[in-house]
Amino acid sequence: MNYDFEQSIEDFEEAVRKAHEGFYQLRLYVSGSSPRSSKAVANITSICEEYLAGRYVLEVVDLYQQPDLASGANVLAAPTLVKEQPQPVRRLVGDMSDEDRVLISLNITRKEA
Alpha carbon distance 52, 46 (integer Å):
10
Select the more confidently predicted residue: 36 or 12: 36
Angstrom CA distances, 69 to 26, 88, 97, 113, stand at: 14, 20, 24, 39
The model carries a pTM of 0.78
Task: Spell out the domain ranges in the chain.
Answer: 29-106
Protein fold of 29-106: Glutaredoxin (3.40.30)
Q: Please work out, in degrees rounded to the nearest 5, the angle formed at the alpha carbon of residue 28 by the alpha carbons of 23 and 29.
A: 155
Alpha carbon distance 77, 98 (integer Å):
17
Cis before 35 (ω within 30): no
pLDDT category at 71 given cuts 50, 70, 90 is confident
To the nearest whole percent, how much of the chain has pLDDT over 90? Answer: 63
Alpha carbon distance 104, 22 (integer Å):
15
Reported as a single tens digit per residue, the pLDDT across 48-66 is: 999 999 999 999 999 999 8
Beta strands in the chain (DSSP E): 24-30, 56-62, 80-85, 90-93
The DSSP code for 78 is: S
pLDDT of residue 91: 93
